Amino acid sequence: MSLTACNGDSDAAKSAAGSTPSEAAKASPAAEPNGIDKLSAKEIYDTGMKTNAEAGSFHEKMEREGTKSDLRLSATECVGSVEITKKGSFEIIRKGKDIWARPDSTFAEGLNSALGEKAFSTTKWTHGTSSNALMKKLASWCHQEQLTDPDTLDADTKVTKGKVTTVDGQQAVPVVLAEKGESVTWYVATTGKPYFIKVDSTRDDMQDRTNSDFGGAVGVKVPSGAVLEAPAG
């Protein structure tokens, strides 16, 4: 069963998350210009990714045809939900090496059928660690490498810098990769800290993405009550 794709924070995920990140660190129209739009396209991209990692945490929403995710994450914590069209959805919590997942009925049925056992329930969290292949796969939606190993563009990647524009109420400079009739546009804030705040993509292998609420505490809480243990493997 494919585990690839969140649909807004569910009540359970909110409860598990506890406090939500502050918006105090978000760039705003009133913030001072940071001058990043004067840099080269590669420098803008690299700086935006590095600045996000340095924030320590953020709220990420991703969407691609057939998949959605809505997650709050840091290098060591993650909480939110993932939805995959026709396959269902699941809530995910990660704290260090420990991972918990709770699927809806459709996703649970698919997982249990593939596993040949009832390892997942719609009413209980299933627990495992990052050494468990299945739980690691579910937690891969957290994309925590953005905080531990921020991406940089190869020197030979051909990207162009666009004109400063307004993105969700924030001033941002776009960096565009266009090839073979497809394009990916990354937006980096030009006021306040130069956060990478959005990506628009026409490629099937890349999600549209928005990042916000930089620097706030993720505040993950370990699920209480009875939990199931993920199958070994």
Q: 89-143, pLDDT tens digit by residue?
A: 999 999 999 999 999 999 999 999 999 999 999 999 999 999 999 999 999 999 9
Helix (H) / strand (E) containing 44: helix 41-55
pLDDT of residue 195: 98
Q: What is the CA radius of gyration of the chain?
A: 19
Give yes or no for residue 40 having a pLDDT over 80. Answer: yes
- Match domain 11-229 to its CATH number in 2.102.10.10, 1.10.8.100, 2.50.20.20, 3.30.56.10: 2.50.20.20
Task: Give the percent of the chain with pLDDT over 90.
Answer: 77
Buried b (16+ CB within 10 A) or exposed e, 85-123: eebbbbbbbbbeeebbbbbbeebbbbbbeeeeeebbbee
What pTM, to 2 d.p., does this model score?
0.83
pLDDT band for position 7 (50/70/90)? Answer: very low
pLDDT of residue 233: 63
pLDDT of residue 23: 45
Q: Give the phi and the psi of residue 40 in degrees, each rounded to 5.
A: -75, 165
Task: Strands of the chain (E only): list them.
Answer: 57-64, 67-74, 77-84, 88-95, 98-103, 125-129, 160-161, 165-167, 170-179, 182-189, 196-201, 208-212, 227-229
Q: What's the token pair of residue 65?
A: 């045809």
Q: 170-204, pLDDT tens digit by residue?
A: 999 999 998 888 899 999 999 999 999 999 999 88
Query: In Å, what is the CA distance from 3 to each residue of 148, 193, 223?
Result: 23, 34, 22
